[in-house]
Structure 1
Amino acid sequence: MGVVYIGDRAVGKTHLALELTSPQGNYVRVFLANQNYQNLRANLLNLDGTTKPTQTIEKRSLNVEVRLPIGISKIAVDWIDSPGELFRRSWQSEHINEWENFKEMVGKSEGIFLIVPPYREILQPHIESENYVTQQQWCNRFNRWAEFFIYDCSQARRIVICLHKADLINCEIEQEISKLNYLPHGSPLNWLQRHNYVVNNYFQPVKSELEKINKSRSGLSVRCFITSIYYRSLLELPWIYLASYL
């Protein structure tokens, strides 16, 4: 299997995938079988633009094309939508087959693309923070993902973790884009430097957990990014990374 695309509930997985199907891309384009951008919006979003809630585990197939200096790289992706209660023992015991199928799908993947939301403490002052979890809650949730990666994802070689909705984070977003930007010939930072910068500035509360995942077995590499549907260069960056190594 290639890559699975997963994430926390209401984090923006649908909008992220949807925006990547837009033809106005730089290096990355996403295709869903027999569907264009407008059809996808109608199928995946409510009339008010919000996403439709996920009650059961659902899988869609994505084809991602990335334009690299050496040519076009194609990635087969399984986009897995799951209920927010996925890691609750009560949900797992009541949905044994779904839980086992989820573990099997993700566990056999070479690459894993996880998106997580920002937490309250790093939001811009004017953002309604009640809609987001605290840093401690965020860390607790991340720890469950970390355990899952370590114990249930033995085939993964590349794990990409994206802190999504970077446009809401209290930072100088244009400066971050300039620093992290991908250029085919002469980017400001290499992939490891980007990862270290993002971890030190945005993933510091779970830095030890990231190190545990990286050290859990030989050949596994974890890289962190920030993403936003409003900034195409940030949106494409993790996919360019995956295409460069898978």
Structure 2
Amino acid sequence: MSVIIIGNQRVGKTSMVVALAKGTVEGTLENVKIAHPDPQSLIRDKSNLGTGDIAPTFDKEEEPLLLRINLPSGSERDVRVQWIDTPGEAWSKPAWQESNPEKYQDLVHTLGQSQAVLLLLPPYRYRTQEIEDTPEFEEILDPETWKKQLKERLTLLRSHCPSVQHILISIHKADLFHNLEEEKNTWQYNTKTSFLWGKHDTHIRKTYFSLADDIIREHNSLPPYLNPKFFVTSIHHPTLLELPWVYLGAYFANA
């Protein structure tokens, strides 16, 4: 399974997978673990040696991962993933696209050939009273800018991903704009019970994506009818961070 992650600079594309590695090492993840490569090596490779921060991605990078996922059937399966990380400038800065036409065309080609696309969106000003004092407040977009960027990304996906099997859209770093404790407790994945993916998707879309409901409806009404699934994720909430990967693992366990 090839999964390409796209989104703005600093939206958390690399840190999402590093968080899976850290959760594997620390034992905070229950249903998704990185079996290969060695998660500690992955953390080191993707971190700035001087600061320990996640190193920025300047070019397309590919990493074969072996994920050990607890599937809805109750069985644990190894799922091979070709994780494709991308530079945020490629998707958010037309000047970068114009200056790097060959790299951009290669990314667009890779996007269309992937089996799954995970689009990470930044949070927007949803409930500002909860987040104004956080140091990351400047990363949160105003609602109109957020809607504009979502529309641009959906247009990109519709143009270049007609045969992609699964498109997942997540507001990442969602803890910056909303208290996720209730979501974490409500949607904690458990292999012993039937997880209601459809109900989860409807809830997340109505709660966090209602701002762009008209844009999503228009997107879903046009060919090739991609109908993405919606999530909210945060590296600080493992139960939510796992869900996109469990969802994909259920489909690609035999790939």
TM tier relative to shorter chain: 0.7 to 0.9
In the alignment, which of 194, 197, 219 is matched to residue 200 of structure 2? 194
Measure, in 2, the Cα distance between the counterparts of 1:49 and 1:223. 33
Q: What does 1:66-77 align with in structure 2 at a 5 Å threshold?
A: 66-68=69-71, 69-77=74-82
Per the alignment, residue 235 of structure 2 pairs with: 229
* 1:218 positional shift: 6.0
SS at match of 1:159: strand
SS at match of 2:52: coil
Q: Percent of counterpart pairs with the same letter?
A: 25
Measure, in 1, the Cα distance between the counterparts of 2:183 and 2:213. 20
Measure, in 2, the Cα distance between the counterparts of 1:63 and 1:245. 15
Contact 1:113 1:161 in 2 (8 A): yes
Aligned length: 242
Measure, in 1, the Cα distance between the counterparts of 2:80 and 2:218. 27
Per the alignment, residue 85 of structure 2 pairs with: 80
Measure, in 1, the Cα distance between the counterparts of 2:219 and 2:115. 15
Per the alignment, residue 41 of structure 1 pairs with: 43
* 1:71 positional shift: 4.1
* Structure 2 counterpart of 1:2, one-letter code: S
Deviations 1:153-197 (CA, angstroms, capped at 9, x unpaired)? 1121211111111222233x221112222121325x611110111
| Residues 89/15 of structure 1: CA separation in 2 closer, same or farther (3 Å cut) | closer
* Structure 1 counterpart of 2:117, one-letter code: I
Q: What does 1:93-172 align with in structure 2 at a 5 Å threshold?
A: 93-123=98-128, 124-125=130-131, 126-128=133-135, 129-171=137-179
Per the alignment, residue 217 of structure 2 pairs with: 211
* Structure 2 counterpart of 1:202, one-letter code: Y
* Structure 1 counterpart of 2:183, one-letter code: E
Measure, in 2, the Cα distance between the counterparts of 1:208 and 1:66. 35
* Structure 1 counterpart of 2:66, one-letter code: N
SS at match of 2:91: coil
Deviations 1:60-86 (CA, angstroms, capped at 9, x unpaired)? 333333121244151423322213253
Measure, in 2, the Cα distance between the counterparts of 1:10 and 1:164. 10
| Residues 144/177 of structure 1: CA separation in 2 closer, same or farther (3 Å cut) | same
Per the alignment, residue 11 of structure 1 pairs with: 11
Tell me which moved more, 156-165 or 201-210.
201-210
Measure, in 2, the Cα distance between the counterparts of 1:135 and 1:56. 29
Contact 1:5 1:77 in 2 (8 A): no
* 1:32 positional shift: 5.0
Unaligned runs of 5+ residues in structure 2 are none
Per the alignment, residue 183 of structure 1 pairs with: 190
* Structure 2 counterpart of 1:39, one-letter code: S
* Structure 1 counterpart of 2:216, one-letter code: L
Tell me which moved more, 138-147 or 124-133.
124-133
Tell me which moved more, 68-77 or 228-237.
68-77
* 1:4 positional shift: 1.7
| Residues 71/131 of structure 1: CA separation in 2 closer, same or farther (3 Å cut) | closer
| Residues 115/216 of structure 1: CA separation in 2 closer, same or farther (3 Å cut) | same
| Residues 79/31 of structure 1: CA separation in 2 closer, same or farther (3 Å cut) | farther
2:34 equivalent to 1:27: no
* 1:99 positional shift: 0.8
Measure, in 2, the Cα distance between the counterparts of 1:87 and 1:132. 15
Contact 1:29 1:66 in 2 (8 A): yes
